Chains A and B, each alone.
Chain A
Amino acid sequence: MNNIKHVNNINLELSHLIIILLGAGMIYPVLWLFFASFKEGTQIFSDPGLWPKPWILENYSHGWTGIGIVPFKTFFLNSFIISAGCVVANALACSVSAYAFARLEFKGKKFWFAILMVTFMLPGHVTMIPRYVIFRNLGWIDTFKPFVLPKFFGGDGYFIFLMVQFIRSLPKDMDESAIIDGCGKFRIFTRIIMPLSIPPVITTVLFSFLWSWDDFMGHMIFLNSPEKFTVPLGLRLFLDSSGSSSWGAMFAMSVVSLLPCFVLFFSLQKYFVQGISTTGVKG
């Protein structure tokens, strides 16, 4: 018996060791990127080690002033405006739609819910070109409207689905007693369902932010003047125009571009894990 326990312990230690080594290997590129942003150009090219010798901050100051006329600050501001807009739109619109699907009874509910499931499996490419034509006719090209305004119409299907799952799991007693007390649908929504649905709303906020922050194809299609560029486009501009000459500055701005994701992730980790494991958010 003792022997078996011993073997189990060794197995456990071995698993632990594998997890640590593999984790170190996985995180190494990210750490390397972080430290490389403080290295001098020659060291970036030659040194697989992490520690900068010497530590320099020029990469950051050089990168922040940007290339040409547009400073990196502009890209950041633009990205923040778009992401904040997406977050607000999704949080509002998705919770309204989700409430309807999860709690209200109406004809054709099953049908529309099936359509909802289909829409979030639909490749965005199929609607991309017509949307471009629509936005062009509306004069929205090279503005932030195409990213934000459509989301006010019901929000992204994925997040609606996530919230529906959550709201369905809430006990119905409170709604029922509220109905007896004469509460209307809107008040049940604002006073009962929403206060209880904070976790999926936070998950929605997080992923809306991240997805719009990382969106590259959309920004590339709908934005064309550099002063409207977002962080992904700014980094691409950097890559195209400076080539291999200023990897240091490019890495510095890459690190800055990843910071908001890090901050969000570490401050709201609980909701992340919850969101992913309950609905399997893609990624």
Chain B
Amino acid sequence: MEGDSIPLRQPIIHKRSFNRSLKDNLSSYVFLVPWLLGLFIWTFYPLVYSLYLSFTQYNIIQSPKWIGLRNYFVMFIGNDEFPRDERFMKSLLVTLHYVVVSVPSKLIFALAVAMLMNQKLKGIPFYRTIYYIPTLLGGSIAISILWRRLFAGDGIINIIIRQISGGRLDPPSWLSSPEFSLYTLIILTVWQFGSPMIIFLAGLKQIPTEYYEAASVDGAGKVRQFFAITIPCLSPIIFFNFVMQMIGAFQSFTQAYVISGGTGGPVDSTMFYSLYLYLRGFAYGAMGYASAMAWVLLVIIAAMTALSFKVSGSFVSYGSGK
């Protein structure tokens, strides 16, 4: 034992410092344990389980029955035995239509209002509050119920249109016509531009005024300044807002459910992806199919986010503007 002590000396010191760092690591991990447990129980395990369920037929009462790729096959291809689910495609298209129109409109609106407010005006905090109220309340059932009343055939919007036009215009029943119903939801979404507006406003305040002064000395007009200074300086914020709003828009549910009375109608024109997923999984009890739909949604959102990051590389500048 004595003879071994010299060669062991080095490892002993090593071991002690290793022990200390291990102890340090462990005592740090203690704070992370609840989160890690939650991550595995409520996120990782459900992810794996839903991937498994997506290859099965499952109605919660009987145990899952393996059917391979059939759920995905029915969504995208279909044959005589297992006809293609046309409502799936319809819901995907409706959702894409909604995302493509509502997200850019909301951001343009938010940026325009933020720029109006980023001036030396009295009462900006008050107006900011007013403009934020729709966002504060918009996610509630109450506002969706209100929307249903406002845009009804005999609703207030149509009464106003008739009054202003002196009865010459005969507006349609917005909610029960398939061409317009989706747009009432888009209006409801764009109306809630408060969050991105506040973020833009904070971003605009960060742009040094010298940039604009220098530009106007060089003879650049307002439009030129907007595209040469404002947009590049804000580009990281625009990008961030875009990604967050897009991810949110793909998952919209409440408004479509309430306004269409849970049907996605008329003629599936407001059948959002989430709504159809909910109906398949919980109203028709096709939980395997709904799981497959959830995974397709995940892939779509991941792909869109990755695409946004890729495209953003060419125009988002993280220069000295911030």
Q: Is the interface of B mostly helix, strand, loop or mixed?
A: helix
B46 touching A127 by the CB < 8 A rule? yes
B38 touching A153 by the CB < 8 A rule? yes
Interface size class of B (residues with CB under 8 A): 35 or more
Other A-B pairs beyond A96-B34, A189-B31, 5, CB < 8 Å = A15-B116, A106-B28, A214-B139, A254-B146, A265-B133
A12 touching B121 by the CB < 8 A rule? yes
Instruction: Name the interface residues of A170-223: CB closer than 8 Å to any CB of B.
Output: 184-185, 189, 210-211, 213-214, 216-217, 220-221
Q: What are the residues of chain A within 8 A of B297 when measuring CB–CB?
A: 123, 125-126
Among listed B75-83, B84-92, B191-199, interface-contacting one: B191-199
Which B residues are within 8 Å of any A CB, using their own CB?
24-25, 27-29, 31-32, 34-39, 41-43, 45-47, 49-50, 53, 60, 113, 116-117, 119-121, 127-137, 139-143, 145-150, 154, 156, 159-160, 163, 191-192, 194-196, 198-199, 201-202, 240-241, 244-245, 247-248, 250-251, 253-254, 257-258, 261, 274, 277-278, 281-282, 287, 290-291, 293-295, 297-298, 301, 305
Q: A126-B294, A236-B141 are in contact. Are A100 and B50 (CB under 8 A)?
A: no
Q: What are the residues of chain B within 8 A of A262 when measuring CB–CB?
A: 136
Q: What are the residues of chain A within 8 A of B47 when measuring CB–CB?
A: 126-127, 130
A237 shortest CB reach to chain B, Å: 11
B43 touching A127 by the CB < 8 A rule? yes
Question: Which listed residue, A20, A44, A100, A280, touches B244 by the CB 8 Å rule?
Answer: A280
A107 touching B163 by the CB < 8 A rule? no
Q: A276-B195, A283-B195 are in contact. Are A107 and B25 (CB under 8 A)?
A: yes
Nearest neighbor of B40 in chain A, beta-carbon distance: A153
A129 touching B145 by the CB < 8 A rule? no
A105 touching B28 by the CB < 8 A rule? yes
B99 shortest CB reach to chain A, Å: 13
A247 to B139, CA, bound (A): 20
Q: What are the residues of chain B within 8 A of A261 when measuring CB–CB?
A: 136-137, 140
Q: What are the residues of chain B within 8 A of A247 when measuring CB–CB?
A: 149
A125 touching B127 by the CB < 8 A rule? no
A10 within 8 A of B: no
A104 within 8 A of B: yes
Binary interface encoding of chain A residues 232-255 relative to chain B, with 1 for a CB under 8 A from any of its CBs, else 0: 100110011000000100110111
A112 to B36, CA, bound (A): 9
B298 touching A123 by the CB < 8 A rule? yes
Q: What are the residues of chain B within 8 A of A236 when measuring CB–CB?
A: 141, 258
Q: A15-B121, A154-B37, A277-B201 are in contact. Are A26 and B251 (CB under 8 A)?
A: no
Q: Is the interface of A mostly helix, strand, loop or mixed?
A: helix
Among listed A27-35, A51-59, A64-72, interface-contacting one: A27-35
B37 touching A100 by the CB < 8 A rule? no
A239 to B258, CA, bound (A): 9
Which A residues are within 8 Å of any B CB, using their own CB?
12, 15-16, 18-20, 22-23, 26-27, 29-30, 32-33, 44-48, 93, 96-97, 99-101, 104-107, 112, 115-116, 119, 121-134, 136, 150, 152-155, 160, 184-185, 189, 210-211, 213-214, 216-217, 220-221, 231-232, 235-236, 239-240, 247, 250-251, 253-255, 257-258, 261-262, 265, 269, 272-273, 276-278, 280-283
Can you spell out 29 A-B residue pairs with CB atoms less than 8 angstroms apart? Answer: A15-B116, A26-B133, A29-B150, A33-B142, A46-B159, A48-B156, A96-B35, A100-B29, A112-B32, A125-B274, A125-B277, A125-B298, A127-B43, A130-B53, A130-B291, A136-B60, A153-B37, A154-B38, A214-B139, A216-B253, A217-B278, A251-B146, A254-B141, A254-B143, A265-B136, A276-B198, A280-B195, A282-B245, A283-B139
Q: What are the residues of chain A within 8 A of B117 when measuring CB–CB?
A: 19
B8 shortest CB reach to chain A, Å: 26
B294 touching A128 by the CB < 8 A rule? yes
B35 touching A153 by the CB < 8 A rule? yes
A12 touching B120 by the CB < 8 A rule? yes
A19 to B277, CA, bound (A): 40
A150 to B39, CA, bound (A): 10
Q: What are the residues of chain B within 8 A of A124 when measuring CB–CB?
A: 251
A12 to B118, CA, bound (A): 11
Question: Which listed residue, A122, A127, A189, A250, touches B145 by the CB 8 Å rule?
Answer: A250
Q: What are the residues of chain B within 8 A of A251 when measuring CB–CB?
A: 145-146, 149
B130 touching A26 by the CB < 8 A rule? yes
Interface centre among A45, A240, A278 (most CB of B within 10 A): A45
A119 touching B43 by the CB < 8 A rule? yes
Question: Which listed residue, A22, A26, A99, touches B31 by the CB 8 Å rule?
Answer: A99
